A and B are shown apart, each in its own frame.
Chain A
Amino acid sequence: MPRAFSPHAATEVERIRSRYPTNLAALIPTLLLAQKEFGYLGDDALSLVAETLDVPVTKVIATATFYTMLNKEPVGKFHVQICKNISCFLRNSDAVTRELRSCLGVAPGETTEDGLFTLTEVECLAACGRAPVVQINEEYHEWQTPESMRGVIDGLRNGATSNHGADV
């Protein structure tokens, strides 16, 4: 893991910091930036954020461990997050989860051996009108069925990037 932000990210940190009256307030956006830069938030990334913002590392850890989007462990290249809550459940998200388990060969909370996919079950993604909803990296995939989900996964596996993945 790099011990410093890239020049671009360092500029971004300064821009973020200028928005707030305290350094601590810049913490969550900076942690998200660090996660984008380093893939996940290991101990050295957390220390780097603490040093950069001049905030006690204990405060950084307290915040980093509170929020579900901040990954303290490495995740796959594609983080597949399926909503299991009521509106998605009613439209059979369980069948989509079963399909994901079978075609990825992992259970929720696990990463495939090739490091390509991490499967996570999440709570509401606020797109209940188009349930079931699956978020892969930054992109929402709505109206998912087991068949459409398999198509999305196959597309990603075949080398498409998440940002240009099959939109079903």
Chain B
Amino acid sequence: MSATTDAPEVPAIPGIPKAPRVPNVTLYDHLLRDKHGKDYREIKVYETAGGYKAAKKALKMGPDAVLAEVKKASVRGRGGAGFPAGIKWGFVPKDTDKPKYLVINGDEGEPGTFKDNYYLSMDPHRLIEGCIICMMTLNIETCYIYIRGEFFDQINTVEKAVEQAYAAGYLGKNALKSKMTLNMYVHTGAGAYICGEETALLESLEGKPGQPRLKPPFPAVVGAFGCPTVINNVETLTSVPLIIEHGAEWFMGLGVERDGGSRIVGISGHVNNPGLYEVGVGETLYDMIYGPGGGVLEGRAIKAVIPGGSSCPVLTPDELDVRMTVDDMAKAGTMLGTCGIIVIAEGTCVVKCLQRISHFYAHESCGQCTPCREGTGWLARILDNLEDGRGRQSDLDLLLDVADQIGGNTICALGDAASLPVQSFLKKFRKDFEAHVEHAGCPFEEIPLPVWRKP
């Protein structure tokens, strides 16, 4: 089932080189099934809709065929880094005396990202089925689903679903009437964005502060409890039953070459219809914002778009005609990230936006590497000065200098995530920063934020 969105009025966007076009976006409901009016949290409902058939099929296919199918489907990791999932699975050693682990990253928490929230709260069996297929394929006995601690409801939902899967014989001893034992546990975080970084997540799973590990060794070889470990994002594994059920060809066909499938795009900020939308990989940012997103509040023009979560370099209105694939976004000088689009309307102070983002990274820095621990605080305080009217012209270069010293000089990617927004905002909106110095404070203070209504 698919539906084309109603085309809304498209306002002219200053700076867009060609005439604004009517967005044409096909929405899917393979992953995002919230409009079905069914409670997929219940195993019976899930099974009636074809659930757990893919796990049975995978058992018949055998590990080699399943791995080949997942590789062929070219599903890129949905957690932000975009690493091909099949290749990641292939890194796990086949012959090892040690136990192997599957760890699911459900520590969603980058501003603008809220897709895994849906799977965990509304469709937990899909995730469990994806985990089962992965465990059967790689001969893994134990799986931990790591969910951020703030998600109380989602934790309960997934725990209940895991219990149901045990009772139905999909998990436990002789799972799916095979010789395998498959154990699955829900593990809760306790509030730390950094635990979304895969090695910090492993530290957290082991009961320690979430401080990332140096790589190599990579988790596929030395992961949880010193053993080979696969770490996948929630959405990545939720896509696996679809690949097995319909085949890699079908899955790939939803997306583009080297970036297969459909995925859930989240749109937040100044749009008329914020929310989650499932589309094939490769729709453009422009189409997503003016199609399903419903355009900008109050018909305002776009000032800036953060395309994939707060760490992704910001784009201007003339840069939105870009396909949302890992490679296309990289070519455009930004990142696809988690497909969490944040739309910022004209009239909004981008310095204030960056201030919020920089405070986020200052708060979430784990404190392990000096450039990040000290630098993220500097960035946040310099931006405070600019907003509060204490800024100096030299602060602009100081911001860049500090950001340059963080990026690339830390154990994990949080350092880059903190510096990329600063560098890109300054590059694209330098005039706004200068205006804060000249104006001795925020020149946008008097302009109200767009008014929104609950849809």
Q: Is B149 an interface residue (CB 8 A)?
A: yes
Given A31-B190, A59-B208, A92-B449, do A126 and B356 touch, yes or no (CB 8 Å)? no
Q: Is the CB of B454 within 8 A of A123?
A: no
Contact indicator A130/B188 (Cβ below 8 Å): no
A128 vs B356: C-alpha distance when bound (angstroms): 14
Picked from B116, B185, B204, B268, the residue with its CB within 8 Å of the CB of A129 is B268
* Interface status of B238 (Cβ within 8 A of chain A): no
Judged by a CB distance under 8 angstroms, whether B388 is at the interface is: no
In the bound assembly, the distance between CA atoms of A28 and B207 in angstroms comes to: 6
Task: Assess whether B193 is interfacial by the CB under 8 Å rule.
Answer: yes
Interface size class of A (residues with CB under 8 A): 35 or more
Chain B residue with the shortest CB-CB distance to A133: B114
Contact among A26, A59, A92, A129 for B114, CB-based, below 8 A: A129
- Contact status B267-A129, CB under 8 Å: yes
How many chain B residues touch A (CB < 8 A): the figure is 58
Which single member of A66, A87, A131 contacts B192 (CB below 8 Å)? A66
Least CB distance, A55 to chain B, in whole angstroms: 8
- A68 CA / B193 CA spacing, docked (Å): 10
Chain B contacts for A129, CB-based, 8 A: 114, 266-268, 274-276
Contact with A along B182-200 (1 / 0, CB 8 A): 0001011111110000000
Query: Across the interface, do B206 and A90 meet the contact criterion of CB distance under 8 Å?
Result: no
Task: Give the distance in Å from the alpha carbon of A4 to the alpha carbon of B363 in the complex.
Answer: 34
Closest to B275 in A: A129
List residues 125-166 of chain B with CB under 8 A from any CB of chain A.
148-153
A residues within 8 A CB of B152?
138-139
Q: Name the contact of B344 in the complex, choosing from A19, A27, A90, A130 (C-beta under 8 A).
A: A90
Are the C-beta atoms of A125 and B209 separated by less than 8 Å? no
Are the C-beta atoms of A128 and B113 separated by less than 8 Å?
Answer: yes
A86 at the interface (CB under 8 A from B): yes
Contact B207 A27 (CB under 8 A): yes
4 tightest A-B CB contacts, nearest first: A69-B191, A27-B207, A67-B190, A68-B191
6 contacts between A and B (CB under 8 A): A28-B189, A69-B189, A90-B342, A123-B109, A126-B113, A127-B117
* Extra 6 A-B pairs, beta carbons < 8 Å, given A86-B353, A89-B352, A131-B274: A19-B187, A67-B190, A67-B209, A90-B344, A124-B310, A130-B275
